Chains A and B, each alone.
Chain A
Amino acid sequence: MEKLKLEIITPNGVIYNDYAVSVVLPGEEGEFGVLAHHASLTTLLEAGVIDIEKEDKSVESILINWGVVQVDEKKVIVLVEGAVAIRGENDGAIATALEDAKKLIRDIADSNPAIAAVSARIESAAQRLL
């Protein structure tokens, strides 16, 4: 399968810069998936989870609070304000990441009704790793 180049950039640096098979992004209008050769678009992202399917079929989840994505045929650049990658070498690290992710969600304005769903999503992403 063809790959696309994915860059996720936060104010604290690059947290993901690698090839991926597909990526699912939490757009403001709803979730959308991007594969290689996707038509160009620029759109906003809301609080949610970015699911990245890597070349080895493993899926990585990254929680974000706000972002903007620029998609073109070859690459996807995601600018996010705050992000927590749910990954870790061992159970302890995953648990810490999960805690960080929950904290980030709490910091987002609580008026957002999607928060509960996002919270459930990260829990399941962590479960998958454990």
Chain B
Amino acid sequence: MANLKDIQRQIKSVSNTQKTTRAMKLVSTAKLRRAEELAKRSRLYAAKMNQVIAEIAGRIKCNKVGGLDNRFFQKIENPKMVDIVFVTADKGLCGGFNIQTIKAIKKLIAEYEKQNVKVRLRGVGKKGIEFFKYNEVELFDSALGLSSKPEKKRSDEFIMSSVEDYSDGKIDALHIVYNGYKNIITQELHVNKILPVDSDQFDCNEVQNSMLEIEADDEEHVLTSLVNKYVEYNMYYSLIDSVAAEHSARMQAMDSATNNAKEMVKTLKVKYNKARQAAITTELIEIISGVESMK
């Protein structure tokens, strides 16, 4: 019977898919372990770096040290142009990982457009770049291959052009949007405002007791090179955090795909057996009725 064959073919194709998804899950698990390790080791450095910068920003705000004229720490009223750097994966098949990032970017763009601020998009990762190209949103700059294989040097070069534009006054803010790793089953969306360094949450009263000295004559140099490193490292950390998150998302997506395929095979098998039994019954009835008619 044709129906039986059809079902059999379906079962075969679904179990083949299941094999693929299971293999992909295993690959992601192995890759995740490495990426997770890297992200974990860097997390402390990134956190301390942000802490140092935040403290300096706070002190500048509270007039404890100079640097008020440093553009990196100034609060810019009425921004005209902002850079949004986003990090997505180069590959799909990782559930809502990329689309979550894209949604956050769209939200951020909409917010800025409401205030009549121009947005320059700079993308890392094929999926996000493809999305915005397809939707005819202009990308100012893009980098392929950087999100699956983060390289410090390339990431530095990529982000530094934004920092230069910022210090030249071409742009007034810099955001990095990426989906980061929280734990093996959750990803955490980060929309980080990198520049200007945010000092809003800093309480001036707390600073009073401790002092901080930056040599006055090279304050400009100290702050600039510190900010450069801070931005560079934030970019690099976004990349490695995003890789870890991507693998964890893919692992999960592939896990549920495997389970889903398993379910499908099960229902198809039931269907197949029913059809087989129906066929046997029909055949039996045919034989019996044949015998009956001969009587």
- Known A-B contacts A11-B41, A42-B52; the reply to A68 vs B212 at CB < 8 A is no
* B294 proximal to A (CB < 8 A): no
B14 CB, min distance to chain A CBs, angstroms: 44
Closest to B226 in A: A68
- Contacts A/B (CB < 8 Å), 29 sampled: A9-B45, A9-B48, A11-B41, A11-B42, A12-B41, A12-B42, A13-B42, A13-B44, A13-B45, A28-B222, A39-B211, A40-B210, A40-B212, A41-B212, A41-B213, A41-B214, A42-B52, A42-B213, A43-B213, A43-B215, A44-B225, A44-B226, A66-B229, A68-B52, A68-B229, A70-B55, A72-B210, A79-B48, A79-B52
Interface residues of B, dominant DSSP:
helix
What residues make up the interface of B, taking CB atoms closer than 8 Å to A?
41-42, 44-45, 48-49, 52, 55-56, 210-215, 218, 222, 225-226, 229, 233, 236
Q: Which residues does chain B contribute within 8 Å of A40, judged by CB atoms?
A: 210-213
Per-residue CB contact flags for chain A residues 39-77 toward chain B (1 = under 8 Å, else 0) read 111111000000000000000000000101010100001
Question: In the assembly, what is the distance between CA of A110 and CA of B214, in Å?
Answer: 27
Most-contacted residue by chain A among B48, B210, B214 (CB, 10 A): B48
Q: Which residues does chain B contribute within 8 Å of A11, judged by CB atoms?
A: 41-42, 45, 233, 236
Nearest 9 interchain pairs by C-beta: A13-B41, A41-B213, A11-B45, A11-B42, A9-B45, A40-B211, A40-B210, A12-B41, A40-B212
